[in-house]
Chain A
Amino acid sequence: MAQMTMIQAITDAMRTELKNDENVLVFGEDVGNNGGVFRATEGLQKEFGEERVFDTPLAESGIGGLAIGLAFTGFRPIMEIQFFGFIYEVIDSVSGQLARMNFRSAGRFNAPVTIRSPFGGGVATPEMHADSLENLVASQPGIKVVIPSTPYDAKGLLISAIRDEDPVVFLEHMKLYRSFRQEVPEEEYTIPLGKADIKREGKDLSVITYGAMVHESLKAAEALEKEGYSLEVIDLRTVQPIDIETILASVEKTNRAIVVQEAQKQAGIAANVVAEITERAILNLEAPVLRVTAPDTVYPFAQGENVWLPDVNDIIETAKKVLTF
């Protein structure tokens, strides 16, 4: 075991897979010699060579095409999009091409491509760096979307993503990159995609969340415990497909739920979670399932993040509404 930050765990996962499988390639803007703008690929080019870990021209769409072509020739690409706000440049390669490859070739070609990309607010980035755009890809059939919230999850999920036969979008929250350390096994291990994790057990309210909001939810659970409420915090970890079983088991126990996301209300994946719970467990519910989200504006100017991003107080407020409904 070693104490690792999330970014170290991510590097470790890539190192593990570069070692395990000679078909694994890592590429993107400044991921080679520079080691990535967040040091996620630090040391990898030195260890595995320029053939395996390499820089690309500055063109996201071209990077997507490169990944597709390399997948056709039997490689297992890990492509990096420097910030997920730049996904619009490569949305055809991801949603229009990669996600549909197995389908449109009726199984002849598959796309074992992992798309790594940082996102998320709270670190005062310039425009189009922090936007939560997971719903853009989560709504596309054929693609899986993974968002880890801890170093341990990040490593196990990234190894699974790289080994998955389908395209996986792996979103890394910038605020979580170095915010805390955790014990992470040095050897390889996997965490199945599509499986949620109960980060805190409780019996009064299910808080279904992902990304940085996992930690805000845990803080809210701690605060509300002092008021006598027991919150169960479910970290989805994979937002497409979601882990229905874990969500339902929790809601059937607590009979109340909220869904917490950093994205705007009209974005994210919270509406999908609410719909699934409503369809499958309405008779278990003592109250409506409410959402904690950002307002439906464009992602804020950096100095406005503190008033705009959902936080522990928003969660406490919404949780109380549901608990006292």
Chain B
Amino acid sequence: MAAKKAKQFDPIETLHAIEEKFEMFQILDEDGEIVNKEADPQLSDEKLVELMTRMVYTRILDQRSISLNRQGRLGFYAPTAGQEASQIASHFAMEKEDFILPGYRDVPQMLFHGLPLSMAFLWSRGHFQGGRIPDGVNLFPPQIIIGAQYIQAAGIALGFQKRGTKAVALTYTGDGGTSQGDFYEGINFAGAYRSPAVFIVQNNQYAISTPRELQTAAKTLAQKGIAAGIPSILVDGMDPLAVYAVTRDARERAINGDGPTLIETLCYRYGPHTMAGDDPTRYRTSDTDSEWEKRDPLIRFRKYLEAKGLWNEEKENEVIERAKEEIKEAIKEADAAPKQKVSDFIKIMHRGELPYNLQEQLEIYTEKESK
């Protein structure tokens, strides 16, 4: 008689069972129809209009920034078109006391958190005044080292927890960023301390030219939250209502002491990685581009709001005109910033007294600058 086969652990089955749990969460479909009524965040009409206004504004800002960059009137710029729902609707769930740690593509969220546009332009150009976040605005300048913002967010969240502040640290990275050690350490630390952090992964499909499939064999990026033992969710990153709803819920859990959340927003950037010579036609087909353009967050949200009688062409044009006007003003302000001097750099090196080497160099450069 054959021995009864022992029940075996099946790692493949386990993996598939986990993957199946990460279905994409959506509220608004491509036609602007509510497909998940129970999850509708029930934003007031006023808030819905404000959210659309910010998204349109951001699209125009992207168009103008690309053009200003081409004219040499802006420096480093990482295009945002396509990610408005992911960026703006997630930030829309935040309060002023929340602390935002943006990556280099996350300038729009900073603006709506209180950074003057002219400063964002100065940051793009590479001027120290662009990094001087106004007092009372809870922001850190955009992080260039991919992943560093994640471990820092865990620290701010722990700080809020220790202070008893009802606020969260919100941070963003991209799909490529999930391969970094700091990504994992950040979510794991926040999990271990159950600290109030919201971690967003904007999966825009490419890390420069490297497709997301080459970053990991994991079927979703959201499931990486399991490694930290924290709740995580995959959301349609082209759907403003879905992004808003999951971020708001994550914030609620965080300030109620239930720890961090990892959110993967499935989205797409239409433009290049940055304006520093990246050519997306080398690694992307126009078919994929147009496929994603059909899912555009503005198109579906516009349809949704128009059906509710909350939006029309006239309103949209008002926003566009205002954006263009404010961008023009902000560029003028940025132009008026004084040229940077070496002595400026030396003076912002330390909060306290300058060490001897910098004292000496300050004298040398002040002398040079006076000529």
Contact = CB atoms under 8 A, between A and B. Distances in A.
Interface of A: 25, 51, 56-57, 59, 61-62, 64-75, 92-93, 96-97, 102-110, 112, 141-142, 144, 164-166, 194, 240-241, 243-245
Contacts, number: 138
A241 to B, nearest CB: 4
Interface in B132-159: 132-133, 135, 140-141, 145, 148, 150-159
Interface in B118-133: 128-129, 131-133
Given A51-B162, A107-B132, A65 B152 contact: yes
B156 A105 contact: no
A69 B163 CA distance: 13
Interface in B308-322: none
Contacts of B356: 194, 241, 243-245
A71 B159 CA distance: 8
B148 A110 contact: no
A209 B74 CA distance: 49
A199 B185 CA distance: 44
Nearest to A144: B355
Q: Interface residues of B: mostly helix, strand, loop or mixed? A: helix
B148 A96 contact: yes
B252 interface: no
B285 interface: no
Residue of A92, A105, A106, A142 with most chain B CB atoms under a 10 A cut-off: A106
B355 A57 contact: no
Given A75-B159, A97-B152, A105-B141, 5 more contacts: A72-B155, A74-B163, A92-B148, A106-B128, A241-B357
Nearest to A57: B192
A238 to B, nearest CB: 9
Nearest to B130: A106
For the complex of A and B, list the 10 residue pairs with the smallest distance between their C-beta atoms, beginning with the closest: A69-B155, A65-B151, A73-B159, A241-B355, A62-B185, A165-B351, A106-B132, A69-B156, A110-B351, A66-B155
Nearest to B153: A69
Contact of A66 (B129, B140, B151): B151
B188 A59 contact: yes
Contacts of B159: 69-70, 72-75
Contacts of A142: 349-350
Contacts of B131: 104-106, 108
Contacts of B22: none
A164 B354 CA distance: 12
Interface in B271-304: none
A107 B152 contact: no
Interface string B185-225: 11011001000000000000000000000000000000000
